[in-house]
Amino acid sequence: MDSMDVSYERVDAGAVGRKRRSKIVVTVLASALVVAVVVCVGIGITRQGGDADGDLRKDYLRRWELRANAVKDACSTTLYPEFCASTIGNFPGLSHRPGKMEILNAAVKLGIQAVKLGSVHARSLYRPGLTFRQKTALHDCVELFDDTLDELYDTLSDIHNMTFMAVPRHAADLETLLSGAITNQDTCFEGFTLCKGHLKQDLKGGLRNVTHLVSNSLAMVRNISHEATRLLASSAKQSSHNRHLLSVFSSDEDGFPTWMSVGDRRLLQSSSSNITVNAIVAKDGSGHYTTIKAAVDAAPENSKTRHVIHIRRGTYQENVEVHKKKINLMFIGDGKGVTVVTGSLNVKDGSTTFHSATVAITGKAFVARDMTFENTAGPSKHQAVALRVGSDLSAFYRCSFKGYQDTLYVHSLRQFYRECDIHGTVDFIFGNAAVVFQNCNLYARKPMANQKIMYTAQGRQDPNQNTGISIHNCNVLAESDLMAAAKGLFPVYLGRPWKEYSRTVFMQSYLDGIIEPAGFLEWNGTFALSTLYYGEYMNRGPGAGTANRVKWPGYRVISSSAEANQFTVNQFIEGDSWLPSTGVKYAATLTG
């Protein structure tokens, strides 16, 4: 049985060279309260005596059994049912006959408690003598713990007073938040891969507990949603509800989702000269700011309206972070290759992959158009991110992303890319967002000697996460330098599975002849080959033949439009409910 023990190695400041292991046991308080209740009940029973003594004992045991059975039932659909039942069963304040929404509430609160412990511990590990890489990895973890807390608190707020039958209407948002929270823990852990010392091991137990607790909450949301949907489907009211949904999730004749505001449509369709902007960035000093960072820092926090920053032509050598409080921010450039933001942080020189991004976006509802994001570290520096996105409901229109290994980090939450160009070599579109690329160009570049090229490396680690990479109506191509190399010198694949439940789909896209006949590449032996989901649907071009594709259990040639539609803008990222407000043009369903 799993436990909630989180063991951390610490240095005893009172004695040089002597270590003590301190154990943080999350369930101690809960267990103590349970014991106190038992003792109090026992005292009460003893004082009553006689038949009353037996009746009270029976009533107490009946209540305890009802509670245990309810928790066990709710936990039965999770990946860690014993761990789930043992932690929630001891949660203080849980009623004697809790419903599934009350149990879900307790599960989320347990996750919050564990994240707080993990964050405190990560901060305690800072000390003199750490390397730059170790400090950076710890900094990443602290940031990711903070992001996780926000996501779990948002989940808790969303389910507060939510009825069982209302969950299907909110399931996509809840699953997105919880999927992102799980991804954050893995990203923290990955940051220590190249670090010496025992920091990675020190954090492992706490990260595992958070991951399992959040996974339990995610599984419960999915189970409640499925149960409630079945009940709704059996009622006459569901038919009218479905008709309403069909009217909401649709696009107009211009290809914009019907939920997109008129103002945001204009922002995307209009030329930059016709858009009212809030700030101008210009290298020559003719604007409000000379750097993008300064304009972002000056932007309002938690804005309810779109804040537009026009970044005039020029190359801006800087690293930019759009933090989570910078909501509804929009970058408008003067064109791909005309407005360029560039950096060169990379893993070989001591950064983490997460921290190497030239531009990092976590503020919700971010939009960018007509500009280039670039990392110029080069192929010899290995992982070097041009853009990292952990912004929910974010959209990129007519942008380009240039790098080599790990160019575009679609880290988490829901994202959309339209008419963009992505250039790279190894795993150059990677991460664990729910993301759709539509009408984009994916360009493989010439890598270092003996390297293979993979367009994607998707990182879904839990089968209940609503994440994956959908490549829809795109061109999967090669740059001229790669085309000029001897054929077969640099094998090119559509993707490989970074994590156990990796999910990637190529649909209605043009695949160049440079693609290897097998299509996809293993990550390491048989890892994830049975649990991944890799699909192809109605692709075209010399590289689209599927006769010699991999024979993995998780690979499929999709023959059903219904199955393929699961990965469209409409269904996969609920685009009709948020893309219209961004102004980015899109196709909600399959084309043609």
Catalytic residues: 427
Beta bridge partners, 527, equal none
Whose CA is closest to 187, among 472, 420, 498? 498
Q: Determine the 3-state secondary structure of 513 from DSSP.
A: coil
What residues does 394 pair with on adjacent strands? 415
DSSP result, 341-392:
EEE---TTTT--TGGG-SEEE-STT-EEES-EEEE-S-GGG----SEEE--T
Residues 6 or more apart whose Cβ sits within 8 Å of residue 244: none
Sign, Cα dihedral of 543, 548, 550, 556 = positive
First-to-last CA distance in the chain? 52
Strand segments, DSSP code E, in 432-501 are 434-438, 441-444, 453-458, 468-472, 475-478, 492-497
Alpha-carbon gap, residue 106 to 87, rounded angstroms? 9
**What is the DSSP secondary-structure string of 243-273?**
HHHHHHS-B-TTS-BTTS-HHHHHHHHS-GG
DSSP structure class, residue 527: T
Q: Are 579 and 251 in contact (CB under 8 A)?
A: no
* Tokens found for residue 193: 């891969």
Neighbours of 231 (CB within 10 A): 13
Q: Kindly tell me the burial class for residue 423, based on how many C-beta atoms sit within 10 Å of its own C-beta (0-12, 13-18, 19 or more).
A: buried
β-strands 503-507, 468-472 pairing: parallel
Pairwise CA distance, residues 345 & 351, whole Å: 7
Measured CA to CA in angstroms, residue 515 lies from 266, 401, 475, 553 at distances of 38, 21, 12, 21
Q: Would you say 177 and 151 are in contact if contact means Cβ atoms under 8 Å apart?
A: yes
For the chain, the maximum distance between any two Cα atoms, rounded to a whole number of angstroms, is: 94
Euclidean distance between CA atoms 225 and 219, whole angstroms:
10
Q: Which amino acid is at 279?
A: A
Residue 464 to residue 377: CA distance in whole angstroms = 36
Q: Nearest Cα to 409, choosing from 347, 359, 368, 341?
A: 359
